[in-house]
Structure 1
Amino acid sequence: MRNGKVWWPWLAVLAAVVGVLVLAWVTFTPLTDNGGLQVSANRAQLTGGFVLAAAVPLVLALRWARQRSRELVAAAVPGPEVVARAKELLAGLVAEQWEDEARRRSLDDPYPIPVRWRTPAPDAHTPAVMDHPDLIDPTTASTGRVWWTASSNHIAALSVRFRRTRRGRLVILGKAGTGKTTLAIQLLLDLLATRTTGEPVPVLLPVAGWDTEQFPRLHDWVADRLARDYPALRSPDLSTGAAHALTGRGHVLPVLDGLDELPPPAQANVISALNRSLGGDDQLILTSRTTEFTTAITAAGDVVNSAAVLEPLPLSPAAAADYLTHCLPPSPGPAWEQTLTALRTTPPTDLTPLQQVPPGPAGVLARVTATPLGLWLLRTVYTAPGTTPTDLTDPALFPTPAALQAALFDRLIPALITTREPRKDSAEPFRPRHRHDPCDTRRWLGYLAHHLINQTDSSGGQEGGQETRDFAWWRLAATTRAMTLTTQLALTVTITLSLALMWGLMTGFVDWVENRYFEEKDQFLGGFPLGILGLAFGLLAGAYFGSQVRLWARETPGYADLRIRNRPAGLFRPLVKYCAIGLTTALACWLAQPTEDGTYESSLLVIVAWYGLIFGATAWLLKIPNWATTPASSTLTVAPIDSWRADRNLNLLRITICALAGGLCFWPTAVLLAALAGDLDTWGALTWSAQTLLLALTCGLTVGVAGRHRAWWAYLIATRKLARAGRLPPQLMPFLDDCHRLGLLRAVGPIYQFRHAELQDHLAATYQAPP
């Protein structure tokens, strides 16, 4: 197979073509009888069914053979040129994704919060968190100690220091809200902007999604995530193994965020798996809370090999005051000047718990603004028009830092909704599309935060009741147990009865029209026997597809890009090809059916040519979903809202295409044959149109519930049930997209996270379920 022997899948296509020719011979043989066109008109519906039956297996065989051939070709190791193109493509996609996310988070507005970082000082009372100095930085051989200092406001210096390490590995530690993820994003963007050709592409991934049992090696998991999060890497222009080649050859720098979000046993497993996976040249950036990381390396019995470690220092009151000054107008007013002066004169604090307060009237304020989280909250809430900072130094209102931080969390959502007016203009990507009530927004986000912490997975997924920070829309039905046994039974009965009724009506009506209109017009029960057969087939099909409802909650999202721009050839070229195949096959059938005197009927040629065109158009229609699900190299990064829309488009496209194919195979054929036979009138056109509608709906709905990637259906069921209970909005994903634009959520690939874990914890703790 690796030597080019990829022809054998096309044997299935050859068999399908032979079958179509045999089917055509059986179908068109009656045209040479004495009845001629009259017989063909009477059998128009049956002929249309034969054409559809011929088109489906042939198109499926073509799709399978082409896909299998591509897989066999891609089994070979991608060449250096392919890997180079995939690497540059990935670099562009990652840069676009995180530059957009950095703007949404206002990381550079007016400038990055100047958090200072340093390597942890040796402590005899705590275990070492760093490897041997000479394994980290070769320049420390004489001193025997790694000592780094860095600032989030001067990230370029940190990039230079990172590149000078022996293997390019860094662990970023800190308490909650100290800016670990922000520093990782800043470092990622700077490494991308200054990357040379031979350096790897940094890619940020939530480490909580790594199941070390399913993917023991880091490279395999990263390759799987790249293929799902960046569909462009699966485009036909690249090998299907491009993602594995990138990770296996050291062209990707994994930036793993949030080790602390895993359960304690899984944290230790990740540390062990990292040390097993990392080779001599493999680079790594990892973020975690300090306590959880210390516990993980203690349980694993080792640190991260050759990795430097950075921890944050608290923001000084003067630095916080300077940052707030630049966020305010040049003349902020006496109240702000008094508050900023009090903040500057407060003694520095450390990152001790919120209950400890430095002395002075602005001691509570200084403790809250010692972290980037507190400073961001204060800026967002109190720099809005109409707010005054006088209560920030009032000990009666905010006696403790915890009280002030809780108040800031409570006022955050109304402040963002008030200050950011909705805009429909695509040139305003950082404004919400709709206006939401602050109380409803607080309640809906509170339920989501509470659900992520207390969820249980009914589908046997990875969460299994564990706390998580990741919201994947396709897991909502499973984690909320929306697909209950009652719901599954109701859907099964509905699908079964609907398909049975539609197939029974369709087949019975077709037979009744033939008997009533063409043959025996006085026959009242015409169509009843065939209708019973259609009803039985519908019951069997509905029972089978209905039994698959329980699997909907386990489905992963599909992908469908309906944009024709930049890839029209891939859409319309198959139309020409399949019509040519259909016409060639039709001509062969016509030549194989001479009359008794050896001549050929021109009217028969029209019929078979029409059948050929119908076959080509039908085969092309059935090819459209394959075109839509094939990513292009220009496909943008898939954000959560894009992932949801892509799966929705795939389901709706599948239903629409199958409905059109069913109607196209039947109605034009019947009308043409009836017109040639002289039996076409208004009644005939109406009856054939009604039959076409029934056939189209039946085929579309049948395939719609039978196809793969049905996560959107499970999502619809879950959101409707939760919306009726008042827990989530009916249009959940557009609402979450607005929350992302407001800055309440962040997007990491196709999943959402709360912008700060502390915001999620606060909303979950204060959530009150609706009555």
Structure 2
Amino acid sequence: MARWNGSWRYALIWWVGVTGVIGLLALIVWGLSGKDGLQTGANLAQLVSVVLVVPTLLVPLWLWRRRLSGPSVLTSEQVSLAKDALAGLVEQQWKTEATRRSLDDPDPIPVIWRQTAATAVMDHPANLTPGVQRLTASSDDIAALTGKFRSMRRRRLVILGAAGTGKTTLAVQLVRELLATRAAHPGEPVPVLMPVAGWDTEVFPRLHQWLASRLDQDYPALRSPDLPARMGEELAVRGHILPVLDGLDELSPAVQQAVIVALNRSLADTDQLIVTSRTAEFAEAVDGAGDVLTSALVIEPQPVTPKTAAAYLKRCLSPQPAAGWEQTLSVLRTAPATTTGPDPGKTLAAVASTALGLWLLRVIYIDGRIDPAPLLDPGRFLGPDQLRGHLFDQLIPALIATRPPSTDPADPFRPHRHHDPDQARRWLAYLARTMTHPPDGSPPTRDLAWWRLAQTTRSITTTTRLAFGLAFGLVFGLVFGLAFGLAGGLTIGSWPSHEPGFANLRLQGREALLTRRLVFGLVVGLVGGLVFGLVGGLVGGLVFGLVVGLVFGLVVGLVVGDHRAWLAYLVATYRLAWAGHLPRTLMPFLDDAHRLGLLRAIGPIYQFRHAEFQDHLAADPRGGRRA
């Protein structure tokens, strides 16, 4: 009902505005047709310009004040509605990711997690919840771990582990299970997983300030007209969000320490928290910060045993596996713990001892239906690093081969287009190098944000600025001269640093909304153009004035507003595509890479599915070309 009332209200305002503009134009035409047409038209133009300018100035002011004022008191119904909406979005987001990762096919990889033995990284036992100490849990029984998490007096958990051991996967499993069972636990906060690498503690000293900013950016549904203003901030500040902060180790050591200090300063007694990090980096951060995370239980994974790894791979095989698998699994089960020189069984067991290694073996050799015999070749791989590198090299062609394109909307886990594996690797390798070694000198990152592409790649050069300025001058010089061209050329330099207002690139189901916005933008442009044009009509006539007004509106529209990040992105992608580094249509390619399982999406940000995969591509000395 509220949505209908809002739509009716906007429709009424729309039609009143359009009718008013038509009426004013008719008035001007009537004035021009009289005895003293030109003079009367000029006088009417001045009057109309005032009539149009006043609402133009007052409406934004009214909207701004309405946004700031908002309701002073939130009702429990409004909070419940916002939490339900957010929970639904997060649940669907990670259900999709879990399907693309094959987390539940046939079951999650059975990684055992135990409380860490490193007492220096965890709070005093007296500050932890009695009964959860000496915790043991398995990834294939996430319900049990979730129950233990809920039993904590302070629900705070740190998930440690080496690269590829399944830290993020366990965090995703916890988020999904908490959401799936929240109906039986009313009042619980909504778990939201986000990369902690985006937290600048100098800009946002408190955790809840940053959470509010990320919720506003990643979940624009919280800005719905049906909800009060600043809903994301209200949820964060009031403790209705369980932040799941992924990848603390991806920050610089100084920033990791600052985050730990900021977390301890931000958390109140009932605030909940889940953090993931590599073990060594977390230990160094805690030591540098001089404190641990208060009341947080710290767990670490145990290596997957050869027998467990062989049993999991067998469950992934068909009931009638291809020749060679029985021998491969037999060698894996009986892999020696120690041996002299390279041993295929020991190398295979070392790779299969992590969740990442098991997943790679499954995707490439089982899903890809490749003969596993080379895995047992004594001279093929000298150690785990060589075998893992081989698996990373085969990952892109394997996923492209096993997931052919489909345009069926009911099949969201297949790409929309076919991609050449070598070309896809070159493009992904360029992105990996740009993220790991940004040309602009900024710190390495795991986050691929489209609005930062122009800045990190330094795509807008001095030549680009001059070309853009000259283009403005040539196109609009007949009306306004070179001044507007130079203005455009100067302002483009700042576009890469702009944050986007909001970018939702999906068209399906949004045609009506986009059409309304387009028509609204055209009307605003025309009204602004008419105001300028009618004033110009005093000296050059009504027709000339309208042309001038429209051009003026176009120029101002290009250099003013939240869309400049998108324009900078377009300039960057044109230049990078011309140089062969990226596809011309980058967004569809990223979407397909996500559907293939090469990337994951967190809000508007893409990440490589595994940090080790990004590092492998970034370090590729062949420039992204497969041997």
Q: With the length of structure 1 as denominator, give the TM-score of the two structures.
A: 0.71
Check the 8 A contact 1:246/1:252 in 2, yes or no.
Answer: yes
Q: Is the 8 A contact 2:206 2:262 kept in 1?
A: yes
After superposition, the Cα gap between the structure-2 partners of 1:308 and 1:96, relative to the gap in structure 1 and judged at 3 Å, is: same
- Aligned-residue offset at 1:424: 1.3
What pairs with 1:588-599 in structure 2 (closer than 5 Å)?
Answer: none
CA contact (8 A) 1:48 1:666 kept: no
- Are the structure 2 counterparts of residues 420 and 270 from structure 1 closer, same or farther at C-alpha, using a change threshold of 3 Å? same
| Structure 1 segments unaligned to the other structure (5+ residues) | 1-16, 141-145, 350-355, 458-463, 504-534, 572-623, 629-651, 669-686
The match for 1:708 is 562
Contact 1:657 1:700 in 2 (8 A): no
- For 1:342 and 1:410, how far apart are their aligned partners in 2? 24
Q: State the 1:413 CA deviation.
A: 0.7
CA distance 1:543–1:373, shift in 2 (3 Å): same
The 3 A distance-change label for structure 1 pair 341 and 231 is: same
What is the TM-score when the length of structure 2 is the normalising length? Answer: 0.87
- Whether 1:754 and 2:608 are equivalent positions in the alignment is yes
d(CA) in 2 for partners of 1:291, 1:159: 26
**1:521: which partner in 2?**
none
Distance 2:346 2:507 in 1: 56
* Contact 2:495/2:567 (8 A) holds in 1: yes
**Structure 1 CA distance, aligned partners of 2:358 and 2:318?**
17
Paired amino acid for 2:420: D
CA gap 1:540/1:325 in 2 versus in 1, 3 angstroms? same
Counterpart Cα distance in 2 of 1:202 and 1:358: 48
> Contact 1:474 / 1:556 at 8 angstroms: preserved in 2?
yes
Deviations 1:340-362 (A, max 9, x none): 1111222469xxxxxx9999642
Partner of 2:328: 339
Q: State the AA in 2 paired with 1:281.
A: T
Aligned to 2:59: 62
Query: Which deviations, in whole Å up to 9, do the C-alpha atoms of 1:388-439 show, x marking residues without a partner?
Result: 0001111211121111111111111111111111111111111111111111
Alignment partner, residue 363 of structure 2? 380
Q: Give SS of 1:379's match.
A: helix
Does the residue aligned with 1:37 lie in a helix, a strand or coil? coil
* Secondary structure of 1:492's aligned partner: helix
Decide whether aligned partners of structure 1 residues 666 and 189 sit closer, same or farther in structure 2, where only a CA change above 3 A counts. Answer: same
1:102 is aligned with what amino acid?
A
Change (3 A) 1:29 1:388: closer
* Secondary structure at 2:500 match in 1: coil
Change beyond 3 A, Cα 1:321–1:246: same
Distance in 2, Cα, partners of 1:200 & 1:319:
35
- Given the superposition, is the C-alpha separation of residues 36 and 226 from structure 1 closer, same or farther in structure 2, using an over 3 Å criterion? closer
Deviation at 1:441, TM superposition (A): 0.7
Question: Kindly tell me: are residues 485 and 655 of structure 1, through their superposed partners in 2, closer, same or farther at Cα, counting changes over 3 Å?
Answer: farther
Change (3 A) 1:53 1:437: farther
C-alpha separation in 2, matches of 1:264 and 1:711: 30
* Amino acid in the other structure paired with 2:154: R
Q: Provide the rounded CA distance (Å) in 1 between the counterparts of 2:624 and 2:297.
A: 48
Name the structure 2 match of 1:719.
Answer: 573
Residue matched to 1:489: 466
- Give me the whole-angstrom Cα distance separating, in 2, the residues matched to 1:408 and 1:712: 36
> How far apart in 2 are the matches of 1:358 and 1:390?
20
Aligned with 1:187 (options 174, 183, 187):
174
Rate the CA distance shift 1:313–1:139 in 2: closer, same or farther, 3 A. closer
The correspondence for 2:128, drawn from 133, 136, 145, is 136
Verify: 1:171 aligned to 2:158, yes or no.
Answer: yes
Distance in 1 separating the partners of 2:462 and 2:29 = 52
1:244 is aligned to: 233
Q: Whole-Å Cα distance in 1 between the matches of residues 571 and 379 of structure 2?
A: 48
Which residue of the partner structure matches residue 106 of structure 1? 102
Indicate the residue corresponding to 2:7 in structure 1: none
* Structure of larger gyration radius: 1
> Deviation of residue 205 (structure 1)?
1.1
Question: 2:417 corresponds to which residue?
Answer: 434
Q: Aligned match of 1:213 in 202, 214, 219? A: 202
**CA separation in 2, counterparts of 1:264 and 1:136?**
26
Return closer, same or farther for 1:116/1:204 CA change in 2, 3 Å cut-off: same
Contact 2:500-2:562 within 8 A present in 1 as well: no
Partner of 2:500: 557
Output the amino acid matched with 1:147: R
- Structure 1 residue 696 displacement after superposition: 4.1
Contact 1:130 1:309 in 2 (8 A): yes
Letter in 1 for 2:436: I
The alignment of Structure 1 onto Structure 2 pairs a total of residues equal to 596
Residues 427 and 565 (structure 1 numbering): CA distance in 2 closer, same or farther, change over 3 Å? closer
> Alpha-carbon deviation of 1:220?
0.8
Q: 1:127-148: CA deviations, max 9, x gaps?
A: 61111123111337xxxxx201
Distance 2:404 2:586 in 1: 20
1:167–1:280 Cα contact (<8 Å) kept: yes
Distance 1:653 1:104 in 2: 38
Residue number in structure 2 paired with 1:367: 350
Aligned-partner Cα distance in 1 for 2:589–2:351:
30
- Report the CA distance between 1:666 and its aligned residue: 11
Question: Residues 221 and 659 of structure 1: is their aligned pair in 2 closer, same or farther, counting only changes over 3 Å?
Answer: closer
SS at match of 1:285: strand
Note if contact 1:471-1:752 (Cα within 8 Å) is conserved in structure 2: yes
RMSD between superposed Cα atoms in Å: 3.4
Residue in 1 that maps onto 2:427: 444
Listed as ranges, the gaps of 5+ residues in structure 2 are 1-16, 535-540
Distance 1:387 1:751 in 2: 33
- Aligned partners of 1:409 and 1:759 also within 8 Å: yes
| One-letter amino acid of the counterpart of residue 577, structure 2 | A
How far the C-alpha of 1:67 sits from its partner, in A, is: 3.0
Per-residue Cα deviation, 1:429-482 (whole angstroms, up to 9, x for no partner): 11111111111111111111111011044xxxxxx5211111101001111111
Rounded to whole Å, the distance in 1 between the matches of 2:68 and 2:48 is 30
Query: 1:309, CA displacement in angstroms?
Result: 0.8
How far did 1:693 drift? 7.0
1:12-51 counterparts in 2 under 5 A?
31=31, 37=34, 39-40=36-37, 51=48
The 5 Å alignment of 1:537-556 reads 538-556=481-499
Pick from 73, 87, 95: which aligns with 2:70? 73
| Contact 2:332/2:345, CA 8 A, preserved across alignment | yes
Deviations 1:593-636 (A, max 9, x none): xxxxxxxxxxxxxxxxxxxxxxxxxxxxxxx99x74xxxxxxxx
C-alpha distance after superposition, 1:181-235 (max 9, x if no partner): 0000000111111122211111101111000111111111111111111111112
- Verify the 8 A CA contact 2:112 2:138 in the aligned structure 1: yes
Give yes or no for contact 1:655–1:700 (8 Å, CA) kept in 2: no
Residue 564 to residue 752, structure 1, CA distance change in 2 (3 Å): closer
Identify the residue that residue 10 of structure 1 maps to in structure 2: none
Alpha carbons 1:746, 1:753 under 8 Å: kept: yes
* Shift in Å, 1:655: 6.8
Q: How far did residue 757 of structure 1 move?
A: 0.6
Match of 1:390 among 355, 366, 373: 373
Q: Structure 2 vs 1, CA of residues 81 and 770 (structure 1 numbering), >3 Å: closer, same or farther?
A: closer
2:316 maps to 1:312: no
* Secondary structure in 2 matching 1:138: coil
Whether the 8 Å contact between 1:655 and 1:704 is mirrored in structure 2 is no
Q: 2:140 aligns with which of 125, 145, 153?
A: 153
Structure 1 Cα separation of the partners of residues 569 and 340 of structure 2: 47
